[in-house]
Structure 1
């Protein structure tokens, strides 16, 4: 029995114990035991045969007995007992994307034991009443259930990336694996992913592939052959693992990262140059450096994965016309953030500290406006009270600024949620459509027009209203919207939430062509979601954005200068 198989069994025991509320020390012991077994270089079977297992620090008497049972009989009585105690439906719930053990334990305590019961509670908006849960949890649950039932098509990048990173981490910790890299759709940061594609090298290719077939998440083998395995994960997305040789790793990484058109353009160029790639890439410290060398062998600068699309980027690279793409370190602040004042999870102070820890110069607090009752929108009185709290924070911070803002609803009849004389006192005003998303085009246009023509509305948030994989954009003429944004000087948002990514990369590219200023914001309701900014940055990179195209890449003084300009002059970078 492979060490990893033993670790999987111990992890399952810990999970099942955790669900039923077993003693936390026992749960922790089995979780720690799984990590210890994964880290042991020698086969555990040999340690058991030599009676040396109990000598390893962290392996107590009870844990040792379970491991020995797994080695001798390839089963555990404790594991079988726990499997019988935990309702099977709870394990199906655990398979839902972004649903963890603590949530499943909470659902179990509330009497929820099946996906159907969970779905009913989520639709009735009762999940948010449970400890540690909220409206975002309900939305994630309903979308996850829909995905499980579909088990086909493409999957939002946020879900696919989380699963991929977990699997890459697992492979990197296997002693027989030498090199692991993510490739394909995810490395290009496609917003919807057809499959997770991982490229690796290993000492024993066939042994690794056989082990992967036994992975707890590999519910169905789709295809297998020399050097590869494709299987479906529990929530439906296909996983493609390819094992290649050290000599072929870099060419295969380049080939599998880009589209077929990109690879063909590279091969055409190589034939044109009559060049060969025979550099010993293993002499480079990192695979990234080796990949740069591959492009250098074609007399090209390195082409970012996000741009490896139509093949035209190869010609641009030859001509030295590739954009200098925005990077995460270019972001100076986040201008769309929620707190506990409305429907957020984290407090104002927690969000401020989290943004400071990211090295930002500024941020904007933009809680929901009064008419969005479902999100506990703020009345004028509440918003003024919050504004004073923000002013107090700013007085105590010399090197960090919090903008007092609001995400203001555009009402169904086109009116804005606060009067002009009120919003003109805010540092930053975001307008957005949250309700009646299926209105006829002329009504949607009227709403957007009223907002963008308002001199106090700075940013239009999630401009098309889409949710990746579950909700189409509302009916809006994009050319009309962009023309209006350009004319009025309204900033358009890339909402970096992986559930939205709105604007899409294709639309951002069109906005850039019209010289429309973009803001990349997280719309974070929890300090943990501030890291979602990377999804928005990747979208911007796919669109070819440079830092001067993005509002929150400017310094605090520059942002204040832009916001103090009349709107019609804001798209001018001077």
Structure 2
């Protein structure tokens, strides 16, 4: 049974969680965290790399011991070190670490003083007011935990889009190889590029549906076959992801693809439009009376109701039907339109590759320029740069640009926005750079007014070009901080600043709704990888999906411009 990168990263993070609860050496914990991040961000499966004879110790943060553990996971699906820890510490305690306000010390106290091991037990204790009795908790912490637990326990598990891809795409490819299969497509929220995915829908056309059902049920990652018929089946994968398969006739495939892509609100609106024309629309086709008039392709379905084809990312019933009718659908940005990346890190701070290695990797992906934006000095854990080190790196970039071909490095910084809105480095230093990306990395719980004012103050600084990951969210781990985003977007327009769409799969920040608001206000968006390794440039694909959901066209995106045009925009800001 294959072990995907997401499985490996989860195992490494689980070890780190349990070690933290045991109060193990922080450097050891960090080594597992960094290794998990490296594996999760790889564009190739670790199993494929091992099969090709790759040396895993060449990966960032992977030494001999960790490389051996990765091999053990791939070859056996288990890890002895993790099993040992689970015998010592209840594994459910690791879940508690992901709740707001709970660090290893507090989880340790919950376990040893109140015998709390699971989120449900913690919920009951918080509901009963027992947490505030513990040293270091208090009523405010108790109420915050209660709210977080109510939200978490009341929802089904969702997978980040990039994680779902590790399970859905190999399964689709597996089905596509079944004899007689003509098409195999992933539909649902995955196709619409939602940032999280609850389950997977796969549609297939095939000459032998029974053979497809048999192979689907026998897939080696299936742990439960929930239902199985002649043309449809539902299974649960080892990862917990539910997959629904439907084998459709060729003449119905387009209608089924439209129906199962969704969203529900979009489908209802299109179905009502069909009804107003005397048509019936369902997953089998478009019918006038008993005669099918369309359905083989999505294009034919839309044409039957008087519309051009609408890109899946737009199908949320948020104005796309009206725009299609009026001929105003956006020509959405594509990965190929990007000419540069405006947020990347190297080994000078918390990155895993040198200036030259990052430049080469960006060039291999067809990029013409790359901004090196290390953390500033306040982020001591990331070895942030002070003015002296930043100037030294600038000189190194100048020297490297002198011999680089096909790509240009820009001198930048990801400067911290302090609590009062001032910046972590002096203006005279920031003024020497090509690009300044301003970011919040702490004090996430300020009031809405204070957090908004903090950002507005930073945007007013004439040295700031881009506001990085503007909402501050980590999908499934940290909610966006409370800010007045429309006010921030209007301020960015007023000051000539730009907003980042951070493409890291854990962030995808801007939200799609804020991308669209930025577009409407005329504020350009930079789709940036936030790369910390050469593999991380692959995140740009995820950023493109989010940008398309936000209706962004190439002209709305800052880094679709040539280097000359980009420099003019940056200089105009200053």
The C-alpha deviation readout for 1:185-227, integer Å capped at 9, x for no partner, is 0111111212111111234434433443333322234444452
Please report how far the alpha carbon of residue 489 of structure 1 lies from its aligned counterpart in structure 2 after TM superposition: 1.8
| Alignment match of 1:532 (pick from 508, 520, 539) | 539
Structure 2 counterpart of 1:523: 530
Q: Is the contact made by 2:375 and 2:413 (CA closer than 8 Å) also made in structure 1?
A: yes
Does the alignment pair 1:126 with 2:133?
A: no
Distance in 2 separating the partners of 1:218 and 1:229:
12
Structure 1 counterpart of 2:171: 167
State TM-score, norm by structure 1: 0.73
| Alignment match of 1:202 (pick from 192, 200, 206) | 206
Distance in 2 separating the partners of 1:484 and 1:267:
41
> Map of 1:272-291 to 2, 5 A cutoff?
272-274=276-278, 290-291=297-298
Please report how far the alpha carbon of residue 362 of structure 1 lies from its aligned counterpart in structure 2 after TM superposition: 1.1
The C-alpha deviation readout for 1:68-89, integer Å capped at 9, x for no partner, is xxxxxxxxxxxxxxxxxxxxxx
Does the alignment pair 1:99 with 2:23?
A: no
The C-alpha deviation readout for 1:522-559, integer Å capped at 9, x for no partner, is 10111111121121112111111111111111111111
Structure 1 counterpart of 2:383: 376
Does the alignment pair 1:564 with 2:473?
A: no
Distance in 1 separating the partners of 2:23 and 2:304:
58
> Map of 1:108-147 to 2, 5 A cutoff?
116=18, 124=26, 126-129=28-31, 133=35
Does the alignment pair 1:336 with 2:334?
A: no
Q: Higher Cα Rg: structure 1 or 2?
A: 1
Q: Secondary structure at the match of 1:465?
A: coil
> Map of 1:311-350 to 2, 5 A cutoff?
312-350=319-357
Residues 228, 316 of structure 1: alpha-carbon distance in 2 compared, 3 angstrom cutoff = same
The C-alpha deviation readout for 1:211-255, integer Å capped at 9, x for no partner, is 433333222344444522222222322222222222221210111
Residues 421, 354 of structure 1: alpha-carbon distance in 2 compared, 3 angstrom cutoff = same
Residues 120, 515 of structure 1: alpha-carbon distance in 2 compared, 3 angstrom cutoff = farther
| Alignment match of 2:399 (pick from 392, 406, 425) | 392
Please report how far the alpha carbon of residue 113 of structure 1 lies from its aligned counterpart in structure 2 after TM superposition: 8.0
Please report how far the alpha carbon of residue 265 of structure 1 lies from its aligned counterpart in structure 2 after TM superposition: 3.3
Please report how far the alpha carbon of residue 120 of structure 1 lies from its aligned counterpart in structure 2 after TM superposition: 5.8
Q: Secondary structure at the match of 2:436?
A: strand
Structure 2 unaligned residues grouped into runs of 5+: 43-81, 83-93, 100-117, 120-152, 280-285
Residues 189, 138 of structure 1: alpha-carbon distance in 2 compared, 3 angstrom cutoff = closer
Please report how far the alpha carbon of residue 167 of structure 1 lies from its aligned counterpart in structure 2 after TM superposition: 1.3
The C-alpha deviation readout for 1:80-111, integer Å capped at 9, x for no partner, is xxxxxxxxxxxxxx6782526xx97xx79xxx
Does the alignment pair 1:308 with 2:315?
A: yes
Give the count of matched residue pairs: 462
The C-alpha deviation readout for 1:355-377, integer Å capped at 9, x for no partner, is 11122221101111111011121
Q: Secondary structure at the match of 1:408?
A: strand
Structure 1 counterpart of 2:159: 155
Q: Is the contact made by 2:254 and 2:299 (CA closer than 8 Å) also made in structure 1?
A: no
Structure 1 unaligned residues grouped into runs of 5+: 1-7, 12-93, 283-289, 568-574
Q: Is the contact made by 1:350 and 1:527 (CA closer than 8 Å) also made in structure 2?
A: yes
Please report how far the alpha carbon of residue 445 of structure 1 lies from its aligned counterpart in structure 2 after TM superposition: 2.8
Structure 2 counterpart of 1:38: none
The C-alpha deviation readout for 1:363-410, integer Å capped at 9, x for no partner, is 101111111011121222221111111111222236432111011111
The C-alpha deviation readout for 1:102-134, integer Å capped at 9, x for no partner, is x97xx79xxx98984598689945243369827
Q: Is the contact made by 2:252 and 2:295 (CA closer than 8 Å) also made in structure 1?
A: no
Please report how far the alpha carbon of residue 414 of structure 1 lies from its aligned counterpart in structure 2 after TM superposition: 3.2
Residues 114, 398 of structure 1: alpha-carbon distance in 2 compared, 3 angstrom cutoff = closer
Question: Which piece of structure 1 moves more, 408-417 or 121-130?
Answer: 121-130
| Alignment match of 2:440 (pick from 428, 433, 444) | 433
Residues 129, 324 of structure 1: alpha-carbon distance in 2 compared, 3 angstrom cutoff = closer
- Root mean square deviation, CA, Å: 3.4
The C-alpha deviation readout for 1:145-192, integer Å capped at 9, x for no partner, is 969998933222121122211211221222253320010101111112
> Map of 1:413-424 to 2, 5 A cutoff?
413-424=420-431
Distance in 1 separating the partners of 2:96 and 2:194:
19
Distance in 2 separating the partners of 1:293 and 1:201:
17
Structure 2 counterpart of 1:240: 244
Does the alignment pair 1:486 with 2:493?
A: yes
Residues 139, 127 of structure 1: alpha-carbon distance in 2 compared, 3 angstrom cutoff = farther
Distance in 2 separating the partners of 1:274 and 1:135:
54
Distance in 2 separating the partners of 1:451 and 1:320:
39
Distance in 1 separating the partners of 2:312 and 2:40:
34
Q: Is the contact made by 1:326 and 1:546 (CA closer than 8 Å) also made in structure 2?
A: yes
Structure 2 counterpart of 1:474: 481
Q: Is the contact made by 2:414 and 2:437 (CA closer than 8 Å) also made in structure 1?
A: yes
Please report how far the alpha carbon of residue 446 of structure 1 lies from its aligned counterpart in structure 2 after TM superposition: 3.8
Please report how far the alpha carbon of residue 310 of structure 1 lies from its aligned counterpart in structure 2 after TM superposition: 0.7
| Alignment match of 1:545 (pick from 517, 534, 552) | 552
Distance in 2 separating the partners of 1:113 and 1:480:
42
Distance in 1 separating the partners of 2:320 and 2:95:
35
Q: Is the contact made by 2:8 and 2:36 (CA closer than 8 Å) also made in structure 1?
A: no
State TM-score, norm by structure 2: 0.73
Distance in 2 separating the partners of 1:346 and 1:395:
20
Q: Secondary structure at the match of 1:448?
A: helix
Residues 139, 162 of structure 1: alpha-carbon distance in 2 compared, 3 angstrom cutoff = closer
Distance in 2 separating the partners of 1:243 and 1:563:
52
Q: Is the contact made by 1:330 and 1:547 (CA closer than 8 Å) also made in structure 2?
A: yes
Q: Secondary structure at the match of 2:359?
A: helix
Residues 395, 121 of structure 1: alpha-carbon distance in 2 compared, 3 angstrom cutoff = farther
Distance in 1 separating the partners of 2:318 and 2:484:
29
Q: Is the contact made by 1:97 and 1:144 (CA closer than 8 Å) also made in structure 2?
A: no
Does the alignment pair 1:180 with 2:89?
A: no
